[in-house]
Amino acid sequence: MTVDLQSTRAAFETVPWVRRAVVQREFPNRLRVVLLEHKAVAYWGAEGDARLVNNVGEVFEANPGDVEAEELPLLDGPKGQAPLVLQAYHELSPLFDEMDAALEQLQLREQGNWRAQLDSGAVIELGHGSLAEVQARTRRFIDSVTQVSSRFGRDVESADLRYASGYALKLRGVTTGDVGEKVDQKKKR
C-alpha cells in the first residue's frame, strides 16, 4: 500500500503503445490498472520516422513494425499541429476518393501552405487558408479535373490550387513546349 500511484502511472505511460494509465488502490492489498491504448491512424513526420498519430491527433513514438494497419497515410506539420492535420486529412480524403484516388500524404508547412500527394504519385499544392477554403479549392479541382485529364487520356502529375479562380495542372506525358525545339536540342547533344 506504499506504492506511489503517480509514479506507477507514469511508468506505465512510458510504454510506447500506452496512451493513458489509470492506477487505483483496491482494498486491502491490490492495485487496479486500466490501460488505454493508442490507436494509430497515420504516420507522422518524415518517411521512416517512428512517430505515429493516434485517433485523437496525439503524436506518439512506437515501432512502426508493430502497426497492424498496412496502409496508413503519412501526415506532417509543425509541432503541435497534428490534430489540425488529422482533421484536414479526414475532410479531404473523401474528396479525393471521388476521383478514385487515395490521399497518401498530407503536409502543413511552416508557412501555412498545404500539400497533398495521391497514391498515383501526383502532388497537389492546396495553398493556405482555413480548412474550409482549402476544402473549397479542392472541391473545385475535383469537380473539373476528370474532364480535363480524360480529354487528353493522361493522369495528373501535379496541380497547383493556390489561385483564386482556377488551378494549374500538369498531366503525365503532356508538354506545352515546342516539339521542334526539343528535337533540335537532342540533335545538339
Q: How confident is the model at residue 91 (pLDDT cuts 50, 70, 90)?
A: very high
Q: Once rounded to an integer, what is the mean pLDDT over residues 158-186?
A: 78
Q: Once rounded to an integer, what is the mean pLDDT over residues 99-113?
A: 95
pLDDT, one tens digit per residue, over 14-60 is 887 788 888 888 888 888 889 888 888 999 998 767 689 999 999 99
Asked if pLDDT for residue 188 goes beyond 60, the answer is no
Q: What is the pLDDT of residue 2?
A: 73
Q: What is the pLDDT of residue 133?
A: 96
- Between residues 81 and 164, which one has the greater pLDDT? 81
C-alpha span between 58 and 55 (Å, rounded):
7
Q: What is the pLDDT of residue 189?
A: 52
CA 100-105-109 angle, 5° bins:
135
Q: How confident is the model at residue 62 (pLDDT cuts 50, 70, 90)?
A: confident
Cβ pair 115, 123 in contact under 8 A: yes
